[in-house]
Amino acid sequence: MESKRIDFYFTFLVGFGIAYGTLFPLPELPINQNNDKLTHIISFLILVFPISFLRQDKIIKVNFFSMIFGIGIEIIQPFVNRYGDINDVIANSIGILIGTILAKIFFKKITRGSFLL
């Protein structure tokens, strides 16, 4: 399987996992909703890194659709007994930014032949 397909399938699976984990209805609302920001950052970092790394020419599209995906989740969450939170959108955006920056750094290091930091 060619690498440009692998990144797409991996990104799709991660996106599905994020959607399932954030949109699965809860029997009751959680008491403390602010302790999950690091999870949002890491999830969206993992979502954008592989496709941003392997498709440098698509980074703007990847970031745009990842942002729309994160915002869409937050809009839907109140309908499945969860909180929709602007702070989650901010955490998602931070994860997207970090994932993109790391992808660009690793891409430059690998293409220059200086992968070891």
Encode the chain (117 residues) as per-residue pLDDT tens digits.
565 688 888 999 999 999 999 898 878 776 766 678 999 999 999 999 998 988 889 899 999 999 999 999 999 999 988 888 899 999 999 999 999 999 999 988 888 876 555
Q: What is the dihedral of CA 78, 71, 43, 96, to 10 degrees?
A: -160
pLDDT at res. 36: 85
Alpha-carbon distance of 60 to 56, in angstroms, equals: 9
pLDDT at res. 101: 95
Query: Residue ranges of the domains in the chain?
Result: 3-25+32-112
Using CA of residue 52, residue 61, residue 75, residue 92, what is the dihedral sign?
positive
Residues, the chain: 117
Q: Which two tokens mark 76? A: 């839907």
Alpha-carbon distance of 67 to 18, in angstroms, equals: 13
Tally of CB atoms within 10 A around 112: 8
pLDDT at res. 111: 81
Its pTM stands at 0.85
